[in-house]
Structure 1
Amino acid sequence: MKKNKIFGALFLSIAASIWGGMFVVVKVVVEFIPPVELVWLRYLIAVIALFAIGCWQHVDWRVKRKDLPLIILIGLIGNALSIVTQEAGTWLSSAQLGSVITAATPTFMILFAWWLLKERLTWIKISSVALATIGVLMIVGVHAIGMGKLLGAGFLMIAALTWALMSVLIKLVPSDYSPIQVTTLATATALVCLSPVVFIQRSTVHWHYLMQPTVIFCLLYLGVISTAVAFVMWNRGLQLMNAASSGLFFVFQPLVGTLLGWLILGEAIGLGFWAGVILISASIWINIGYSD
């Protein structure tokens, strides 16, 4: 059991760390491609990559009829609604604000896990998430939200809520389905759902931007690394840990995002960053070592 938790923590940490660089990438590429079209292109690349990996691993793509509605719901809530609102919110506000608001995901996951999965609310879970949340706030800082960013903040809050709900719903999927199978089908569901919107708005998008090296790199990162690889790792991690504890590792997203901003963009970090790292590390140690 302890071994499963360690591997689960590793998968969740890597996935969230990958998403830490996603906000910066989205902020760059969304200036060329609108949010819905960006998500559609990201998922098109991801489905191709996931299907290729699944075929290589001889994945059985058959799904029982009784399980299909749940997987479709996961695709609609997590892959479609959550990601579209996240990228729209980042577009309307900032990458840093996106990291702050979506860091509320662990708290929402605890509540959804208590409601849907009947997981016990313990002081260990509550205190570990509280420590991690304080750590995140110390890392990215607390900034006033102007009226111009209010709509973006609203979209980001919806993204955090729906991602938390999706992460808990995955726990209801029978364990005989592989993470690649669930991720591919959920991503394909979102791709089909968004296709009519992209078709209607096709004339308003400047598709020639797809030939720019920067845009190509960003799309490959979002499609292959941030979606195909990270989603599979996140879903596998969710299978190995309880839903409430899993959300804790989402805090690696703003941590890595801030660190990358310092390394790549030259953004300054102060004592708050290192204090936040200590608090987050303590919360994870408490969660893995003492939670049930």
Structure 2
Amino acid sequence: MTPPLGRYAFALAPLVAAALWGGMYVVSKWGFALVPPVTLGFLRVVVGAGALWLVVAGRGDPAPSRDEWPAFVALGGWVTLTIATQFVGTELTNASQGSLLTVLTPVFTVLLGAAVLGERITATKAGGMTVAGVGTAVVLAGQYDVGSMAAGNAVGVALLLIGSAAWAGYTVWGLPAVRRHGALRAATYSSLASVPMLGVLAVGELWYLGLSPADIPLTAESVAAVLYLGLGATAAAWFLWYKGLEYVPAGTVAVFFFAQPAVGAALGAALLGEALGPGFLVGGALMTAGIWAVSRERAGTTDEATDAAAE
């Protein structure tokens, strides 16, 4: 059995995942515009899934049985929907909309966790998520022009909402697979299952744009973007996100997602020389307090519901 201190440390793994996703903002400044969005998502998952598979193969873990694959394929469908809608939606909207809509993921996750897994929405969880959400909104309001949040492409906004809900689906319906197979196998085989699905969409995108794979520029920026997205924001982050699910409920893991925009803003200031908004410290303090409050909640009575879902 994992010692309490080790259990708490692993429960905080999704916070590291959120930090890695926060770095995607900086990476986008360096190279996202060089590759069409769905194709970029496909390359991201190919690199990430390949890296995860190498780890699994190196450990000598057995491949999934025929009976186990349907669950991984279903999770791969959630991955495909998340990546396609998130990347296209991001291209169609402005930065403020993208950041604001992305942090709706914790809300969707908590609601799905209650509806699908029977997780209780306690006063501590609801209060902590509200405080963290307010803190994130303060950070975003200081970072972007509030008026720009209302302007933009309606289709892009809708796609980002779908992407946020889809990642919540990947989290909630992934929990039984994580508890049964472990975070590494669940992240690896769900990623591998999504590769052919995203591959078909990427081929369709290139055909629609009148491009061929040879038209994608092979530059230091494009290679660095794909490597960061694949190794950092996919292989490492998805494993860490699922690792948290081994120890705490989906709704508790979800609160760490609020850290993503704050990390992105901090990295933008450190690496790109961007100014932090006046509310960054206040918003960051509120976000930290909310995350701390929710992260201290134990799984408690949710274990039985989770075990039942895994059977």
Rounded to whole Å, the distance in 1 between the matches of 2:62 and 2:251 is 30
The equivalent residue for 2:261 is 254
Q: How many angstroms does 1:207 deviate by?
A: 3.2
Q: How many angstroms does 1:206 deviate by?
A: 5.8
Q: How many angstroms does 1:40 deviate by?
A: 1.1
Q: Find out whether 1:70 has 2:74 as its counterpart.
A: no
Cα distance change, pair 13–196 in 1 and its aligned pair in 2 (3 A): same
Secondary structure at the counterpart of residue 120 of structure 1: coil
The equivalent residue for 1:47 is 49
Rounded to whole Å, the distance in 1 between the matches of 2:124 and 2:165 is 22
1:109–1:243 Cα contact (<8 Å) kept:
yes
The equivalent residue for 1:122 is 122
Q: Which amino acid letter does the alignment assign opposite residue 65 of structure 2?
A: V
Rounded to whole Å, the distance in 2 between the matches of 1:139 and 1:174 is 33
> C-alpha deviations, 1:137-183, integer Å up to 9, x for none?
00011444355333222211111111111101111216241322211
The residue correspondences of 1:172-251 to structure 2 (distance < 5 A) are: 172-173=176-177, 175-200=179-204, 201=206, 204-205=211-212, 207-251=214-258
Cα distance change, pair 249–143 in 1 and its aligned pair in 2 (3 A): farther
Rounded to whole Å, the distance in 2 between the matches of 1:217 and 1:70 is 32
1:129–1:283 Cα contact (<8 Å) kept:
yes
Q: Which amino acid letter does the alignment assign opposite residue 225 of structure 1?
A: G
Q: Which amino acid letter does the alignment assign opposite residue 170 of structure 2?
A: M
Structure 2: which 5+ runs fail to align? 301-311
Rounded to whole Å, the distance in 1 between the matches of 2:220 and 2:5 is 42
Cα distance change, pair 48–290 in 1 and its aligned pair in 2 (3 A): closer
> C-alpha deviations, 1:69-109, integer Å up to 9, x for none?
222111111x1111111111111123343221111111111
Rounded to whole Å, the distance in 1 between the matches of 2:247 and 2:6 is 6
Secondary structure at the counterpart of residue 112 of structure 1: helix
The equivalent residue for 1:104 is 104
The residue correspondences of 1:149-164 to structure 2 (distance < 5 A) are: 149-164=153-168
Q: Which amino acid letter does the alignment assign opposite residue 91 of structure 2?
A: W
1:14–1:230 Cα contact (<8 Å) kept:
yes
1:4–1:241 Cα contact (<8 Å) kept:
no
Cα distance change, pair 32–283 in 1 and its aligned pair in 2 (3 A): same
Secondary structure at the counterpart of residue 24 of structure 1: helix
Rounded to whole Å, the distance in 2 between the matches of 1:286 and 1:95 is 29
Rounded to whole Å, the distance in 2 between the matches of 1:18 and 1:94 is 21
Rounded to whole Å, the distance in 1 between the matches of 2:121 and 2:255 is 14
Rounded to whole Å, the distance in 1 between the matches of 2:24 and 2:245 is 20
Cα distance change, pair 270–41 in 1 and its aligned pair in 2 (3 A): closer
Which deviates the most, 281-290 or 110-119? 281-290
> C-alpha deviations, 1:209-238, integer Å up to 9, x for none?
442111011110011111111111111112
Say how many residue pairs are matched. 290
Which deviates the most, 109-118 or 25-34? 25-34
Rounded to whole Å, the distance in 1 between the matches of 2:7 and 2:107 is 19
Q: How many angstroms does 1:289 deviate by?
A: 3.2
Q: Give 4+ residue runs of structure 1 displaced > 6 Å after superposition.
A: none
Q: How many angstroms does 1:115 deviate by?
A: 0.2
2:82–2:162 Cα contact (<8 Å) kept:
yes
1:23–1:99 Cα contact (<8 Å) kept:
no
Rounded to whole Å, the distance in 1 between the matches of 2:253 and 2:152 is 33
